[in-house]
Amino acid sequence: MHRALPENHGTLFLKQVCGAWYACFSCKSEAAPLPQSDKAIGIDVGLGSFAVLSDGTKIENPRFYRTAQVRLRKAQRRVSRRKKGSHRRRKAVFILRKIHEHITNQRKDFQHKLSFEIIQQYGTIAVEALNVKGLAGGMLAKSVHDAGWAGLLQMLAYKAESAGRQLIPVNPRGTSQTCVCGASVPKKLSDREHLCTGNGLVANRDYVSAQVILQRARTVPSNANVGEVMPCVV
């Protein structure tokens, strides 16, 4: 045990993952608000970079699944070559499951560390209210699953509630097709540069999208900035 249990703990759940047993206690704990912060940030998630913040910070996409694909392919071939029901096949399946578990743990560790850092720094956090399940059903399904946006958003939600931070989901419609000045700037998915003909702003599209997300969090309704004239941040 890496820390003591609270005095009042409830049900104990036991689960087995790849041969290892885990004991999970359900406990009631009080919220632990952090010192107040007036800093606000908008977060635009993507596939090129995992996320770009409205202050220009770029978070690289670790691509844990893509990195492990060679190992997974070898392990899968080993399983397919083994006779069904044999001890050697069970052993090969176990090795394959361990690789998948390692990828899952890597992704969760990355999400926990990133969400913790964001919650510590910012009092207001604006994110897109994405339908991740819908996005994961198309041609980019593998990349969307590998990125793990849903896990990060879920962690941000419960950590913000516990820390007394404000997490604001905004309408994602058109965030990458709109300039911070309110002008419409249509782009294809392959267009990585934002060029606004209205005010001449040239910047990375994800950086501008993060600023638009933060703008929408500060207006009601969430898409009120579209068509309005707002100061442009270069």
C-alpha 141/C-alpha 135 separation (Å) is 7
Q: With b meaning 16 or more CB within 10 Å and e meaning fewer, what string describes 191-218?
A: eeebebeeeebebbbbbbbbbbbbbbbe
C-alpha 93/C-alpha 86 separation (Å) is 11
146 is catalytic: no
Determine which one of 38, 128, 191, 228 is catalytic.
Answer: 128
Beta bridge partners of residue 4, listed in sequence order: none
* CB atoms near residue 101 (< 10 Å): 14
55 is catalytic: no
Determine which one of 30, 109, 206, 228 is catalytic.
Answer: 206
Q: With b meaning 16 or more CB within 10 Å and e meaning fewer, what string describes 102-125?
A: ebeebbeebbeebbeebbeebbbb
Determine which one of 30, 38, 44, 146 is catalytic.
Answer: 44
Contacts of 51 (CB under 8 A, 6+ apart): 43, 44, 45, 58, 59, 114, 152
Q: 176 burial class (0-12, 13-18, 19+ CB within 10 angstroms)?
A: buried
Chain-centre distance for alpha carbon 129: 12
Beta bridge partners of residue 125, listed in sequence order: 41, 167
Judge whether 125 and 210 are in contact, CB under 8 Å. Answer: no
C-alpha 164/C-alpha 175 separation (Å) is 27
The residues assigned a catalytic role are 44, 128, 206
